[in-house]
Chains A and B, each alone.
Chain A
Amino acid sequence: MKMKDSVAIVTGGGNGIGEAVAKYLVKNGAKVAIVDMAQKNIDRVVGEIKAMGGEVIGVQANVTSEADTAKFIKATLDAFGKLNIVVACAGIIRDGTMLTIDKETGKVTRKMGLDKWQPVIDINLTGTFLTLRDGAEAMVNGGWEGILVPISSVNKVGQIGQLNYSSTKVADALMPKIIVGEFQMRGIHNIRCVGVAPGYTATPMLTGMNQDALKALLHEVQIGRLVEPEEVAALIGHCVENGAIDATTIEITGGLCYEHGIAK
């Protein structure tokens, strides 16, 4: 499928990987709906895409809401008349261990609360599900060729301190196999699903962290630097155009070696 003249929805399109994906698609001739919670980010990205000469709409929406999901799908169809690419980038972290133990007494002093657990599940997992579900519904009913892209993470293998996040990302990584299997079962052959699992990526979340901690992270990466969001975007663009990539989740990590903090 060609990116040129295709129509894409990018959730979490207001910054980070989502922003890079949206701009990459526009550069290659796609029309894009930017979906984000933060209107300020939407305004900036929509303005920058306008300056690039791209066709774009911005929709403020909460991806955990069915009503909001229906809203941004409808708005995309109203603006552009079809839908071909859905990239579910919206995601958050709320790190912490499941239990905190007092070193002296050996007793539990704190547990991960639902305030840390539930929002991560809601946005990273339920939000991705709703986005892909309703995106696929529009593609099937419209008869349009398409691709669904859940964004997983290399931490799908299990990152200490991220029981919530890793649980969602392993689920997101599994989605392509199940979704494509169901499409195959239903005789749908023109909609693919490909997950992308980035490693440490140069988004504000990581570049803003303690620089010593960042250096320590980079010791684990063969290329010795963070993956650029534009490199993740280019991989997604390749997945759009290479029709043989399907029902899998592809890692893009710069050669991350799991030396510390990963439960194998």
Chain B
Amino acid sequence: MSKFTYNDAEYIVEPSGYDIRRVMPDGSSSLVAANLYYGLPVQEAEAKAQALVKSIQPVGIKVVGPDITRPNMIGDLKIVGPDISRPNFIYWDKDSTSFPKSS
């Protein structure tokens, strides 16, 4: 069994096949993978386990989509994406020639 730490979690590589177990800082754990790398030498299995963990749980910039509170600006042009929680509205009672105010 070997251990390595990656992105604040501890990973344990258990040679029973090879299992990879993730242990979170609060002590909870889960199986990332099971029964891998049959027949491989220990060092090679551990190197593959480390690479696999980095593929499954990469550390990077998380893109969460357009942020209407912090729009991108190109000069004076404000670029905002669609926000399904705040849809665009058509104001039927304002200056539309296609849909003139009816009352």
Q: Which residues of A contact B (CB under 8 A)?
A: 39, 42-43, 46-47, 49-50, 53-59, 67, 71-72, 74-75, 78-79, 113-115, 118
Neighbouring A residues of B77 by C-beta, 8 Å: none
- With a cutoff of 8 Å between Cβ atoms, the chain A residues found around residue B34 in the complex are 46-47, 49-50, 54-57
Q: CA of A58 to CA of B53 in the docked complex: distance in angstroms?
A: 10
A50 and B56 contacting across the interface, CB-CB below 8 Å: no
**With contacts A57-B52, A78-B52 known, what are 6 further pairs, Cβ within 8 A?**
A46-B32, A50-B35, A56-B33, A57-B33, A58-B32, A78-B55
Whether the pair B84, A114 counts as a contact (CB closer than 8 A) is: yes
Contacting pair B85 A79 (CB below 8 A): no
Closest A residue by C-beta to B85: A115
In the assembled complex, the Cα of A146 lies from the Cα of B44 at a distance in Å of 28
Q: Interface residues of B: mostly helix, strand, loop or mixed? A: mixed
Report yes or no: B52 in contact with A67, Cβ–Cβ below 8 A: no
Interface residue tally on B, bucketed by range: 10 to 19
Residues of B within 8 A of A78 (CB): 48, 51-52, 55
Interface string of B34-54 (1 = CB under 8 A from A): 111000000000001001100
Q: How far is the CB of B1 from chain A (nearest CB, A)?
A: 16
A75 CA to B50 CA, complexed, in Å: 11
CA distance A209 to B34 in the complex (A): 34
Closest 8 CB pairs of A and B: A50-B34, A57-B33, A43-B30, A75-B55, A114-B84, A75-B56, A46-B31, A55-B35
A46 touching B51, Cβ below 8 Å: no
Give how many A-B residue pairs fall within 8 Å (CB-CB): 61
Known contacts A43-B31, A50-B31: A55-B17 contact under CB 8 Å: yes
Give, as a whole number of angstroms, the nearest-CB distance from A38 to chain B. Answer: 12
Distance, CA A54 to CA B17, complexed state (A)? 10
CB-CB < 8 A to A56: which residues of B?
33-35
**Min CB distance, A54 to chain B, in Å?**
6
Report yes or no: A39 in contact with B84, Cβ–Cβ below 8 A. no
Q: Which residues of B sit under 8 angstroms from A115, Cβ to Cβ? A: 84-85
Out of B19, B48, B58, B84, which one reaches A50, CB within 8 Å?
B19
Q: Are B85 and A71 touching (Cβ within 8 A)?
A: no
Q: How far is the CA of A59 from the CA of B58 in the complex (A)?
A: 11
B87 within 8 A of A: yes
Contacts of A49 in B (CB 8 A): 34
* Min CB gap B83→A, angstroms: 9
| Nearest CB on A from B72, distance (A) | 19
How many Å from the CB of A80 to the closest CB on chain B?
Answer: 8
A231 to B56, CA, bound (A): 30
Residue ID in chain A nearest B33 by CB atoms: A57
Contacts of A57 on B, CB cut-off 8 Å? Answer: 32-34, 36, 52, 56
